[in-house]
Each structure stands twice: as structure tokens, then as C-alpha cells.
């Protein structure tokens, strides 16, 4: 469990350099420079010292959108290489907020010119929510070369200062603006009545939560699915198995961190959380809980049905670098797009899920499975 506590920051293993950070260093192919001219596909705002935070653009001449990485078939090593050569520009937010907002508003990456106070340096930081970045540099001067191209829905909603942030996020999602863009808009203070800069790691989970909560409210009004459905998908060592059962909305997520998987040490770790119509408190599974819930509610909204949901996430040693909760979101989305297995009974669906995972050690940890077996609902009559 030393790795889980350390996360590459404290050297608790006694090694001179964290093996995970070393693999980032090995991917570096950028010569330190105090000048950058090129693409700025996204922005980043830190959380340290909030509300007095630093932020700036992420600088790289490659897409910074996870769905694009997945569609291109990039491996985890490819993504680590891409993130290792990404530069995080940092400044007091007030100095660069206008530029950050212009980058966030644009539907395509803008070209920028940035001068740093000194050559950029290696600065790998791991966070379970945000994808890591390999380089950082303090901004001395920044200019945007392009003009932002803004979708009509984004322009309308960001211009409405009487619209609450929750409503703005849901309207943007209904307008086919993905959560990655919505997060950028929330981060840079472009949504809501009382607009403020929001640290990126907070914004990611907040958007997943707000959008999936809105979808959940719609889902609860739909008729239930019939029978049991099982979805399955794997992405970068994250195996997602999802059971949909008849009934009104309930949700449970179980994480199984395999032995010697990322930060887990020598023992397997299993964690669980769930909800009914409302979620109380922040999930101990952190952002992964809300990312998976988003993918499931998107699917249920697309078929206009409600269900009781069990999401199983099994993490293997293949997932050697913490890429952020987007991996869970995209793994769950991919699973929900795959053809579903159909089963007549819960026992059959549970047995099939255990076969896919390779074991049934998750089952004693489930709170929803016993409830589904014993509790009768209107759908049973």
C-alpha cells in the first residue's frame, strides 16, 4: 500500500526514482525552451491554494481529447508519450483568464505564442482525476494567434449570465457538447450566475455529476427494461462489466484493484459505493464513480428506459500509469456500445459477469445484488 500513499511523490519505496515517473521521463522528446509557438488544445487550473490558484493553457500540437485518442487506437504508452511532451503553462489566473476563456470557447485548438520566464522543466504530477502532464513553465507573455470558432449553443449558453451552472451543463450536453468541452467552460468561469474559476480536477467530477444527475432524473420517468442485460468492455487495463436489472433507478459501483496493479501493492483491494434516487455525500470511489454513472445514464437515456445498475471495474497491472478518470468514462462508454448479453434471471447475469471478470470475489461486497434477490417491486407483478 506504500504506492497508494506515495503516488510517486514521497519516495516511500526507497528507490531513487519512482518507476512510473521514470517511464514518463523516458518518453520525453522535447528540448527545454523558453519559447513555444503552436497549438493550445485545452486549459488547466490547479487547486493548490484555492481561491488563489494558478492556471494556463496546455500546449501541444496534438489533440487533447480522450475520445480522439481512443478512436485512433493509441496505446497507453502512446498516450503517456503524448502527455509527457505536453507543456502546462502556469500563471496567476487573473493575468491569462481572457486567453484561457478564448481557448475554452473555441471548437478547435487555437495557435498561441508563449514566452516563459525560463526554459520549461520536467514536472510530472499524478492525480487520480486529471491526466498527468510532463512539462511546465511559468508564463511571461502569451498571445493567441487564431480567432476562436464557437458553436451557436456554446455562444448562447455562455452568454446567459442568469442561467445556473447546473442547467447550463445539462443544456450543453443536450446540444451534443461533450463533457470534455463543458469541463473547459466551467473551469474558465464561463458558466453559471456567480462565475468563478474552478480547478480542473474539481470541474471534471462536477460536470460528470451534474450531467449524470440530470440524465438520471429523465431516466426515472421511463419504463423499466425487461430482463437482464450484461455489457462488457476493456480499455487500458480497465475492465468494465455492467449489469442492468429491471426496476427503478438504483446504482452501485464496485472497484477491484488487482494484486500489483497501479498503487495497489501486494494485495487485492475491493471498494464499493452506491445510491438510490439521490446520492448523499461524495463517493469514496472519487471521480471514477461519477464517470461510470455518466456513461450508464447516457445509454439509458438513449434507449428511454430505467434500470437498476451494477458497474464492476477491474483494474489490472496493464494500467501502469494513472491517466485520469476519463479512462473509466471511455471504458464504460465503450462497454455500453458493445452488444449486450441478455439473461432471464439475475443469477445468470451475475454468473456471466463473474466469468468475464475471472472470479466472483466482488459478489460478497455487493449490496445491490442481495436487495435485487429479495426485494419485490411493482415490476415483479
The pLDDT tens digits for 99-145 are 999 999 999 999 999 999 999 988 877 777 888 888 999 999 999 99
State the residue for C-alpha cell 527545454. 32
pLDDT given for residue 127 in this prediction: 75
pLDDT given for residue 1 in this prediction: 47
pLDDT given for residue 317 in this prediction: 83
The angle, 0 to 180 degrees and rounded to 10, between the axes of the packed helices 76-84 and 19-27 is 70
Lowest-pLDDT range of 129-143, 172-186, 208-222: 129-143
Bridge partners (DSSP) listed for residue 35: 115
Q: Considering the entire predicted model, what is its pTM? A: 0.91
Distance CA 290, CA 271 (A): 15
pLDDT given for residue 375 in this prediction: 73
Chain mean position to CA 65: 11
For residues 1 and 265, the answer to whether their CB atoms sit within 8 Å is yes
For residues 246 and 359, the answer to whether their CB atoms sit within 8 Å is no
Question: Is the pLDDT confidence value at 7 over 60?
Answer: no
- The mean pLDDT of 301-326, rounded to a whole number, is 93
Q: How high is the mean pLDDT of the chain?
A: 91
Question: Is the pLDDT confidence value at 261 over 90?
Answer: no
Distance CA 376, CA 357 (A): 28
Question: Is the pLDDT confidence value at 27 over 90?
Answer: no
pLDDT given for residue 259 in this prediction: 75
Top-confidence residue, 209 or 318: 209
Top-confidence residue, 95 or 1: 95
Strand duo 308-315 + 250-257: pairing:
parallel
Phi, psi of 360 (to 5 degrees): -115, 25
Query: In the chain, what percentage of residues exceed pLDDT 70?
Result: 89
Q: Which of 176, 171, 212 is nearest to 192 (CA)?
A: 171
**How many C-alpha atoms does 105 have within 13 Å on its Cβ side?**
21
- The mean pLDDT of 289-300, rounded to a whole number, is 98
For residues 336 and 220, the answer to whether their CB atoms sit within 8 Å is no
For residues 222 and 252, the answer to whether their CB atoms sit within 8 Å is no
Question: Is the pLDDT confidence value at 345 over 50?
Answer: yes
Give the model's confidence band at 9: pLDDT under 50 very low, under 70 low, under 90 confident, else very high.
low
For residues 183 and 100, the answer to whether their CB atoms sit within 8 Å is no
Start-end of CATH 2.40.50 domains in the chain: 17-144
What are the tens digits of pLDDT across the range 362-380? 999 999 999 999 876 555 5
Q: What is the largest CA-CA distance in the chain?
A: 71
Question: Is the pLDDT confidence value at 29 over 70?
Answer: no
Top-confidence residue, 258 or 231: 231
Question: Is the pLDDT confidence value at 229 over 70?
Answer: yes
Question: Is the pLDDT confidence value at 315 over 90?
Answer: yes
pLDDT given for residue 69 in this prediction: 96
Phi, psi of 343 (to 5 degrees): -140, 150
Q: Which of 260, 268, 337 is nearest to 296 (CA)?
A: 337
- The mean pLDDT of 164-175, rounded to a whole number, is 98
Q: Does domain 17-144 have CATH number 2.40.50?
A: yes
**How many C-alpha atoms does 112 have within 13 Å on its Cβ side?**
33
Give the model's confidence band at 4: pLDDT under 50 very low, under 70 low, under 90 confident, else very high.
low
For residue 218, the tally of other CB atoms under 10 A from its CB is 15
What are the tens digits of pLDDT across the range 273-286? 999 989 999 999 99
State the residue for C-alpha cell 500489483. 260
Phi, psi of 286 (to 5 degrees): 60, -150
Question: Which long-range contacts does 169-172 make (Cβ < 8 Å, 24+ apart)?
Answer: 169/207, 169/210, 169/211, 169/214, 170/210, 170/211, 170/214
Amino acid at each position: 500500500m506504500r504506492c497508494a500513499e506515495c503516488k510517486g511523490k514521497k519516495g516511500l519505496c526507497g528507490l531513487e526514482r519512482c518507476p512510473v515517473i521514470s517511464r514518463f521521463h523516458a518518453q520525453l522528446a522535447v528540448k527545454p525552451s523558453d519559447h513555444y509557438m503552436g497549438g493550445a488544445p485545452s486549459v488547466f487550473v490547479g487547486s493548490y491554494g484555492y481561491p488563489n490558484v494558478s492556471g494556463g493553457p496546455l500546449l501541444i500540437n496534438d489533440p487533447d481529447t480522450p475520445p480522439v485518442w481512443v478512436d485512433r487506437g493509441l496505446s497507453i504508452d502512446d498516450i503517456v508519450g503524448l502527455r509527457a511532451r505536453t507543456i502546462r503553462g502556469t500563471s496567476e489566473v487573473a493575468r491569462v483568464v481572457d486567453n484561457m476563456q478564448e481557448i475554452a470557447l473555441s471548437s478547435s485548438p487555437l495557435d498561441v505564442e508563449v514566452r516563459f520566464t525560463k526554459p520549461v522543466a520536467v514536472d510530472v504530477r499524478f492525480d487520480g482525476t486529471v491526466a498527468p502532464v510532463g512539462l511546465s513553465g511559468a508564463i511571461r507573455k502569451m498571445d493567441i494567434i487564431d480567432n476562436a470558432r464557437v458553436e451557436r449553443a456554446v455562444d448562447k449558453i455562455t452568454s446567459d449570465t442568469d442561467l445556473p451552472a447546473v442547467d447550463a451543463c445539462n443544456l450543453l450536453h443536450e446540444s451534443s457538447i461533450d463533457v470534455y468541452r463543458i469541463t473547459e467552460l466551467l473551469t474558465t468561469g464561463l458558466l453559471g450566475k456567480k462565475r468563478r474559476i474552478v480547478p480542473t480536477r474539481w470541474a471534471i467530477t462536477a460536470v460528470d455529476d451534474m450531467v449524470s444527475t440530470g440524465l438520471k432524473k429523465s431516466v426515472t420517468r421511463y419504463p423499466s427494461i425487461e430482463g437482464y442485460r450484461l455489457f462488457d468492455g476493456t480499455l487500458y487495463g480497465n475492465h468494465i462489466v455492467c449489469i442492468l436489472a429491471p426496476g427503478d433507478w438504483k446504482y452501485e459501483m464496485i472497484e477491484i484493484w488487482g494484486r500489483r496493479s497501479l498503487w495497489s501493492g501486494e494485495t487485492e483491494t475491493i471498494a464499493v459505493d452506491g445510491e438510490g434516487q439521490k446520492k448523499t455525500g461524495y463517493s469514496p470511489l472519487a471521480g471514477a464513480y461519477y464517470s461510470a454513472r455518466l456513461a450508464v445514464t447516457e445509454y439509458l437515456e438513449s434507449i428511454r428506459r430505467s434500470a437498476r445498475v451494477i458497474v464492476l471495474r477491474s483494474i489490472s497491472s496493464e494500467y501502469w500509469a494513472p491517466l485520469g478518470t476519463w479512462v473509466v468514462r471511455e471504458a464504460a462508454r465503450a462497454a455500453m456500445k458493445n452488444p449486450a448479453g441478455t439473461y432471464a434471471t439475475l443469477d445468470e447475469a451475475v454468473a456471466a459477469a463473474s466469468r468475464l471478470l475471472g472470479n466472483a470475489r466482488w459478489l460478497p461486497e455487493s449490496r445491490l445484488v442481495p436487495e435485487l434477490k429479495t426485494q419485490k417491486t411493482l415490476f415483479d407483478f
